[in-house]
Amino acid sequence: MLNNKSNFNTAQADDLVELVSTKGKYYIFKLENNKELQTHRGVIKHNDLIGKKWGSEVFSHRSSSFYLLKPGLYEWISSIKRNTQIMYPKDIGYILLKMNIIPGTTVIEAGTGSGSFTHVLATYLGESGHLYSYDKRKEVQNLAEKNILRIAKNNVTFINQDIVDGFAQTNVDAIFLDLPNPYDYLEQVIDSLKSGGYFGTLLPTTNQVNKILIALEGLNFNSIDVCEMLLRFYQADSSKLRPVDRMVAHTGYLVFARSTYKE
């Protein structure tokens, strides 16, 4: 399993591993006996990695240097297949804190999408929490399940269902809608969220933000909040410290609210 402590401090066959070059280019893949990895700087044999200590420097057949690392959540998110839009770590980290998604909480997400957010949620809810992940697109959800197969998933329930009919769960701590039209499902959210619970969504356009604000203002919500996260990377060179030339300028606007109790 990705995130558990293995008994070994060396890479083993079937482990998910990361190789990162000195320039920061990385490869994430499963170690398999007798396989080879083609990098932009030469070939590396899987057999040469098996049994190596995590953190070791290794070399391609062209003598290029790489580091052998156990990938964490961040690297895993960046490596999964992007058949749907993924959520970025910059947004996910903020959502966790803002929606108080901590070990032991019960959360609903819709849709499942690529499963990257699903994975992060399942990780942070811990064994005492539970995630219900809805998606009406069977194929999309299957792919996400496959992505999450690598990790323990006894705290995730995938539900292949349109949320227009509502969620089966009630008194839920937090609901996150990763859908283009979350404003169409807010009554369903109200029905399943515990009073004072957290609602969140991520929307690319201001038009969508406008619509969700109108919808939230008309229902039992309070503490409505809109924000965006900008992440700027720097060249990690002590003699030329400066922001990199280009950056991701936009992923989406984050919108949050809490449900109001009504008798």
Under rule CB under 8 A, residue 72 binds its own copies: yes
| Contact with its own copies (CB under 8 A) among 35, 45, 70, 136 | 70
Contacts of its own copies in 125-164 (CB under 8 A): 126-127
- Residue 161: both structure tokens together: 């269902």
Q: CB–CB of 68/17 below 8 Å?
A: yes
CA-to-CA distance for 43 and 211, rounded, in angstroms? 52
Q: CB-hemisphere CA count at 13 Å for 246?
A: 1
Segment interacting with its own copies, rule: CB under 8 A, options 30-38, 39-47, 142-150, 234-242:
234-242
Segment interacting with its own copies, rule: CB under 8 A, options 32-40, 100-108, 137-145, 156-164:
100-108
Comparison of 144 and 193: residue with beta carbon closer to its own copies: 193
CA-to-CA distance for 80 and 151, rounded, in angstroms? 13
- Residue 221: both structure tokens together: 């919500």
- What's the min distance (Å) between Cβ of 196 and its own copies? 3
**Alpha carbon 162 to chain centroid, angstroms:** 22
Count of residues of this chain found to bind its own copies when the rule CB under 8 A is applied: 89
Segment interacting with its own copies, rule: CB under 8 A, options 40-48, 86-94, 107-115, 162-170:
86-94
Comparison of 187 and 225: residue with beta carbon closer to its own copies: 225
How would you classify the pairing of strands 242-243 and 156-159? unpaired
